[in-house]
Structure 1
Amino acid sequence: MTTTTAARRTTTRRPEWLVPAGLIALSLVPLLGGAFRLTSLASGGPVNADNARFFDSPVPVIVHVVGSSIFLVLGALQFAPSLRRHRWHRIAGRIAAPAGLLSAGSALWMTLFYSMPAVNGPALWVMRLGFGTTMAAAIVVAFLAIRRGDVATHSAWMTRAYAIGIGAGTQVFTFLPFTLVFGAPGEAMHAVLMGAGWVINLAVAEFVIRRRRIIGA
């Protein structure tokens, strides 16, 4: 009986880490890209036309990399049910939420004030402002919801915020097939592929939110 019970517990516990592990894996590209950016800034170069804006004004990109990294890793772990039942969830949330706001706020600042590459056209500019604002607003709504004890609303809006925050990971999978087949995208297609990453993530987020409501009903 003891062996059977232990086996059942192992079986039920193991799958709960698949989602956090998958989200962290999806975050690896932006995490590694951010680490490379910080290393480049710390070492002083090389500086070229593509990265000169970061050297001219390094604080926003440093804030963005650090905030995004914390938000992505801690946010992924929040999807483990066993952690949500412990005090760790609340402590991690108090770190992840401000980190997410720093990530979204610095992204908005860079969109407004950095001189972007030519391939980043008006459509992508508008999308970055829209998704960045939505991410920040989602975190604020989630915070206000948990303050009044509305766990379901808090969970739903933090899930949406995380879906936007991890967009850079999904965008790798929208860009890679297109680039391999057709080559580097132009301005319009670049915007489409970037937007697709955010839209796919939000669609998955809505599916997860609805599934939670059905299970909880």
Structure 2
Amino acid sequence: MTPTKAVRLVPAGLLALSVVPVLAGAVRVAELTGGAGVTPDNARFFAAPVPVTLHIAGVTVYSLLGAFQFAPGLRRRRPAWHRAAGRVLVPFGLVAALSGVWLTLFSDLPAPDAGLLTVFRLAAGSAMALSLALGLAAILRHDVARHRAWMARAYALGMGAGTQAVLLAVWNAATGGPPGPFPRALLLGLGWGVNLAVVEWAIRRHVRRAVGQLFGEGKRP
């Protein structure tokens, strides 16, 4: 597969990665609005339905619409669409990030989610909101390179749930059962870490290519 074809497949891969968290969110909203019974697993969502609904709506729009921002052809051919989508994505991304932080701080989390996983969630939500703010500030300064880098980091953090679902599935297949609290916290943290590592690699690769082209052009007569 050529690099060009691989880049074209990125939005499709991101949409596929969004399937599990989007479907899980839809099930949760149906549970909240459909009169499902309150259980120990869902009681905290019934106790605070507004923030969890906002979180699900923010994540759904942000993950699905955001995937198309990584289609280079669409950005080039329809820059107005790219800008309009960005105006939608920033507020929905902030809603997803900040509601996630609120749920971590103020909802009655189960005991296995306390400790390390709480730290990971607060760090990811705060870093996502900060990345969105920095990306917005960069484009207002017409700094396209930094805008793209910060927005890519924000999207990587927002897509953590998709990668986490893959990692948990691999663990279940390899061990024959779900992980305990500490391994689960590490796997969920690894989900955000993997996404950020991929994005940082892509950002640096793009910078190296741009610098190489600049020096290459400078050598021409």
Q: TM-score, normalised by structure 2?
A: 0.89
| Aligned equivalents of 1:208, 1:79: Cα separation in 2 | 12
Counterpart residue number, 2:85:
92
Query: Pick from 52, 69, 73: which aligns with 1:78?
Result: 69
Counterpart residue number, 1:204:
198
- The answer (yes or no) to whether the contact 1:41–1:55 under 8 Å persists in 2 is yes
Shift of 1:179: 2.2
1:13–1:178 distance in 2 versus 1, CA, 3 Å: closer
Counterpart residue number, 2:135:
142
Per-residue Cα deviation, 1:119-155 (whole angstroms, up to 9, x for no partner):
2121111111111100000000000000000000000
| Aligned equivalents of 1:66, 1:167: Cα separation in 2 | 16
- The equivalences for 1:23-172 within 5 A come to 23-85=14-76, 86-172=79-165
Percent identity between matched residues is: 49
| Aligned equivalents of 1:184, 1:66: Cα separation in 2 | 28
Counterpart residue number, 1:191:
185
Per-residue Cα deviation, 1:160-200 (whole angstroms, up to 9, x for no partner):
00000000000012111222315222221111011010000
- The answer (yes or no) to whether the contact 1:120–1:190 under 8 Å persists in 2 is no
Aligned residues: 207
| Aligned equivalents of 2:84, 2:135: Cα separation in 1 | 15
| Aligned equivalents of 1:72, 1:49: Cα separation in 2 | 29
Counterpart residue number, 2:170:
177
User: Root-mean-square deviation (CA), in Å?
Assistant: 1.6
Shift of 1:15: 5.1
| Aligned equivalents of 1:48, 1:155: Cα separation in 2 | 43
